[in-house]
Amino acid sequence: MLDIALWAAQGLLALFFLAAGVPKVAGRGIDRWVGFEDFPRGLTILIGVAEVVGAVALVLPSIVGAFEWTIPLAAIGIAVISLMASGFHVRAAEGISTVETALLAALASSIAIGRWGETASAPAVPAGALVIVIALLVPSIVFVLVVLVMRPVGPGDGTGSRRVAGAG
């Protein structure tokens, strides 16, 4: 059960961070994202590359059956990226996006804890506890994403007049 929950969480995060990172690297549509107009292009590319590498490293090692010890490290990297994005959204007064990125960081942290046994012989967290945490986080993230997509965006509502930048 825990393995299924972890795989679902890894897949969700990988898809999200691929979708967030590829446009930053390619530069396509980034001009419509609030907050990125002030970022140097090189920094935007670096953030995008980190998101794409983290997304790939969450799933590829298990698929190829090699270097699986990198999965919790990738999850920690994704958590750090998400927490830094939360700070970005706090600074821009984007409340719901701040919650979204904090939830993504919590989910990535849960993956790191759940997959940590593949890295070292560390104390284990009971499988049932992580399944509950993941079962609570995933619907919360989906809810926040739906609210972000469905919410009307306009001047003065704390989100700007253009599309919100997602993961960072």
Residues 6+ apart with CB under 8 A from 145: 100
| Residue 96 located in a structural domain | yes
| Residue 17 located in a structural domain | yes
| Residue 144 located in a structural domain | yes
| Residue 89 located in a structural domain | yes
Task: Please check whether residue 59 is in contact with residue 11, taking contact to mean a CB–CB distance below 8 angstroms.
Answer: yes
This prediction has a pTM of 0.71
| Residue 86 located in a structural domain | yes
Give 31-64 pLDDT, tens digit per residue: 666 666 677 788 888 889 999 999 999 999 889 9
Q: Residue 57 sits in which domain range?
A: 2-150
| Residue 165 located in a structural domain | no
The total domain count for the chain is 1
Give 113-159 pLDDT, tens digit per residue: 888 876 555 555 566 666 777 777 777 777 767 766 666 555 444 44
